Each structure stands twice: as C-alpha cells, then as structure tokens.
Amino acid sequence: MSALQQAAAIRAGELSPVELVEHYLGRIERLDQRVGAFSYVAADQARAAARVAEKRLTGRSGAAELPPLFGVPTAVKDLTATSDMPTTFGSAAFKGFTPPVEAHVVRLLREAGTISLGKLNAAEFGLSPYTDTYAGSSRTPWDLTRTAGGSSGGSGAAVAADLVPFAHGNDAGGSVRIPASVCGVFGFKPSRGRISNGPLAPDPVIQLCQGPLTRTVADAAALLDAMAGPQPGDLFWAPPLPDGDSFLERSAREPAPLRIGRFLHPGSDELHVHPDVVAAYEQATELLVALGHEVEDIDPPFGPAMVEEFQDVWSVRSLRVPVTEEDLLLPLTRYWRERGRTVSSERFLGALQDIQLRATRAMADAHRFDAVLSPTLALPPQRPEWFKELGPATDLKRQFMASPYAAAQNVTGQPSASLPLHWSAQGLPIGVMLTGRLGEDAELLALCAQLEAAKPWAGRRPPL
C-alpha cells in the first residue's frame, strides 16, 4: 500500500497505527542489517506514539479531526535535527549527540500525523553521493553490493526495501535525487524556499532543500504538502499555492502538451555516459513524445568551468559543522575541510558569485521550456569501494564521473525530480531527471504523475 492508501485505511478503521508500526519495525529488524538504512531505530518511541494515535482514533467523532497522514510511519534523515532522538550528521564525532532543538520540518511531519521510526543513515555531513558511515553502509536493495547513493542513502534504501512507506531527505547537491535513482524510487527536490531549513542557521551557500523520497508521485505531493510553508526567520519563501489548493490535488491534474528541452552531455568531454543511462534517457524522451509533449535538444546548461568553483564552495561549506575531534571524521570529510581552509574569502566569494551568474544565465536560457530532461546520474549504481579505494582525491573525481548533473539545480533553486522509469538488463534501477521552472513545483509534479501513470513503477520490488 502507498502511504496515502495506508492513511485512508486508518481513517476507515481497516488498519491501526499500532499494526503499521509493528509491521515496519519487524521489517527493519529482519532486513536492515543488510540494507543499512537506519542509523537509529526509535522502536519504543514509535510504539508509544502509535498507542497514543490508536486512542485518538477510537475516541474521535469524525475523520475531519485527523491530520492528513495520521498514523503513517516514516523516518527522518540523520542530517536533520531531532530533539527527541540522536542526530549524528552521519559522523562518529557526533555519536550519541541529541540537539537541543528540532528542525521545523520534523515538527511539521509530526503535526501531519506521521510517526517517526527513527533516523536514516546519511553520508557524513552530506558530503558524498554514497552513504558509508560509522553506522554502516547503505546499500540499494536491488543489489546489496552497491551503494544506495547519498547523501540521503538511508532514505532511499528504506523506501526501496519497504522499511517505511515514505521518507524525509534533503538535497544540497543531488542528495535526494541520487538515492532515488539508484534505489528505484521517486525523489523530489522542491524549489528553494518551498520547505524551511530552520531554525538552525541557514545554509551559507543557499543550496540545501528538504524533500521526499517515495514510491509514488502522489505520496511525494502529500509529503510536500505536510512539509511546505515558510517559517519565521527563513531567508527565502517560494510562491505559495492559492488558498485551498494542494500539491496533492495539483499533481492529479493532467498537464497540457508541454515544451520540454533535453540534454545528455554531462558538461565535460572527459566524462562518459553509460549506455544504460543513455537508454533510460531515450526511453523517457519517447514516452514524453508519446504523451503529446514537444521535446527539443538543448546545450548543457553548465560546463567544466563550474566544477572547480562548485568544489571551492562545497569545501568551505563542509566547515560549517564545528568539530572538536577531527580525527574521528572520515578521510573524505577531512579532505574537504582541509581544502576549505585553503580557500580565501576572496576566492570563495568569487566562486559563489560566478556560480550564481552561471545559474542565472542557465535559467534564462531554459525559461522557454516548461521542463528539462536529463539523466539523474551518468553511471548505474556503483559499489562504495569504487569511490574510496584510491583515496579522497580519486574519490572526488569519481563522484563527479558518477554525478555531473544533479548539483546544478541546487544552484539555480529550481524544482527537480528523479523518476524510476528504467531498469537495466542487470536489474539495476536507472533514474531520469526532470527539472521545472523556479516556483512551479506543482506543474512538475503533474508531469511526473502523468509519466508514472503511463509507465507505472511503484509495483516493482527488489529481490530482497
């Protein structure tokens, strides 16, 4: 059942929150040692919350009293502050740490009626497109030798393995869309300012977005409805929907014929796009055309000049987490932070300004299109050892080889989604990415839902 189906069954009295929580805790106990999705399982807290929900359910006078996702289990990425359970940021340096505050998005998920089963494994400080931490290695359930992606690897693995029906993630350089691609689920990065990052200090380079990983587009829209909305102190607010409207309702509307740009080139002639990725991209194009949309080839919006600038910005960003015991950090994290300390303030501000200028030009060039199609990744799911085996410098190069597409939308702030429309002959999921205009999250969700209806993916289950 989808998350929305579970919520409806609870309202109808066909399922109880206690049953659902026990069902998923049982799956976590049986399967998570192999999948590595959770960094912390809050079994006692979840059971207690389910019992409270059960009492509220039996004592209600009408369904209207219940929040929209009442009783549905979920879990929160371990980069996001929770005041009632540990938040380690994927790092042994913060093992056992419980923040004194919680993120707005955590409170909003609770107010929507969801029950958190714990914290989901995440790449240390969100710095890599694979998740391999002190808490274990998150693996795609489609091939347990391969990474679940990152930095929201635990979120992607948990949804793909049916350890939760939907999950929270966040995305500063592809961290929702990358796990969605390699785990065969749907991942949505909303427009900048759509979901609050507060109340902690804002992302200094303005790239971070919260977002859902789900099996269906409708579930993602419902989770977006629960999380969206400005909060006091937010620097950016995305344009709200009209009063009484919702992303869930808008996602169900059939889109008119759209003009869609597409590009395959990864922005550097040194990079190779795998044939399975090309096949997924071409099949997505054929599907869009069959649905009546006009598809046109365009030049890649960003070139190799942006890579060095992005890495300068990313390395300085890695220093935003204060650490007292640097020797507990992973080699890659230490590498990023050491590089960040060599970047002068002048160089950092110059890189930030140049990236934003390129983003502005790219958005202006693409504004004539309703959406843009590209691969999510240039390679199929990889083994985490492939990234790490030759040290941090090679790790960094291989990260760019695997993921040259997804970070651009964090710079522009546009909504962007990874859709699981293709599986390789080896049974590996290969996502494609659709990016919409800034602020037009609802329109992008409607297009994604149309593709899902034409080529459903939610019923596919990994051999796990």
Write the DSSP assignment of 345-368 as a string of letters. Answer: HHHHHHHHHHHHHHHHHHHHHHTT
Q: What is the mean pLDDT of residues 302-315?
A: 86
Residue 109: how many CA atoms within 13 Å on its side-chain side?
A: 30
What is the pLDDT, as a whole number, of residue 201?
77
Tell me, what's the pLDDT at 362? Answer: 85
Mean pLDDT within 445-449: 98
**pLDDT, tens only, 354-393:** 998 988 888 888 899 999 999 999 999 999 999 999 999 9
pLDDT above 70 coverage of the chain, percent: 99
Q: Choose the weakest-confidence range: 13-22, 29-38, 54-63, 108-117.
A: 54-63
pLDDT at 62: 62
pLDDT band at 260 (very low <50, low <70, confident <90, very high): very high
Which of 118, 164, 215 is closest to 20 using CA atoms? 164
**pLDDT at residue 203, rounded to an integer:** 84
Radius of gyration of the chain (CA): 21
Q: Which residues contact 132 (CB under 8 A, 6 or more apart)?
A: 123, 138, 147, 330, 384, 388
Give percent of the chain above pLDDT 90: 91
Give 423's pLDDT tier (boundaries 50, 70, 90). Answer: very high
> Residue 281: is its pLDDT beyond 80?
yes
pLDDT at position 365 is: 86
Q: Which of 151, 181, 196, 374 is catalytic?
A: 151
Candidates 16, 39, 175, 196; catalytic one:
175
Q: Which of 77, 119, 189, 388 is catalytic?
A: 77
Res. 200 pLDDT band, cuts 50 70 90: confident
CB atoms within 10 A of CB 393: 11
Distance separating alpha carbons of residues 225 and 246, to the nearest angstrom: 6
Is residue 151 flagged as an active site residue?
Answer: yes
Domain ranges of the chain: 3-454
Tokens of 338: 């050491």
Mean pLDDT, residues 31-43: 98
What letters, b where the CB count within 10 A reaches 16 and e where it falls short, cover 138-161? bbbbbbbebbbbbbbbbbbbbbbb
**What's the first-to-final CA gap in the chain, in angstroms?**
18
Interval 50-99: pLDDT, tens:
999 999 998 776 656 899 999 999 999 999 999 999 999 999 999 999 99
Looking at the domain 3-454, which fold is it?
A: Amidase signature (AS) enzymes (3.90.1300)
Rounded to two decimals, what is the model's pTM? 0.97
How confident is the prediction for the chain on average, in pLDDT?
96
Give the pLDDT score at 302: 82
175 noted as active-site residue: yes
- Are the C-beta atoms of residues 2 and 458 closer than 8 Å to each other? yes
What mean pLDDT comes out for the span 203-214? Answer: 93
